[in-house]
Amino acid sequence: MNKALSLMGLARRAGKLTWGYDTVVEAVKNGEARLVVTAGDISEKTKKNARFEAEKRQVPYAETAFPMEELSAAIGKKTGVLAICDDGFAKKLQQELGAAGEREELRI
């Protein structure tokens, strides 16, 4: 499995990850989210809304090339939108996504 996906699974097991659009937006609004990640195959509207909420509060946003199925398998929950709620995990995941070229877009 890709290192970025493994890292997302580790963040979930550590309790440092939220998933689902509404929960992620809530984490962004509460200042808990450190990185918002979306799957590559979710709707453009959902990606746009997630990016908007993240940018509005200066939270980094990453649109990955991973399909929703892979993200879901990595964290054990069906989702296309997730947020990392830990500085260390967020920084490491940004590095992994950048190094693997697995992102279409990364806005910081």
- Domain with residue 91: its CATH number is 3.30.1330.30
Q: What is the pLDDT of residue 85?
A: 98
The angle formed by the CA atoms of residues 91, 88 and 7, to the nearest 5 degrees, is: 75
How far apart are the C-alpha atoms of 82 and 40, rounded to whole Å?
12
Residue 104 pLDDT > 50: no
Q: Answer for the pair 32, 85: CB distance below 8 angstroms, yes or no.
A: yes
- pLDDT of the residue at 101: 57
Report yes or no: 1 and 74 within 8 Å, Cβ to Cβ: yes
pLDDT tops 70 at residue 100: no
Average pLDDT of every residue of the chain: 91
Could you count the other beta carbons within 10 Å of the beta carbon of residue 55? Answer: 15
Number of domains the chain is built from: 1
How does pLDDT run across 14-67, given as a tens digit for each residue? Answer: 999 999 999 999 999 999 999 999 999 999 999 999 999 999 999 999 999 999
What residue numbers bound the domain in which 93 lies? 3-107
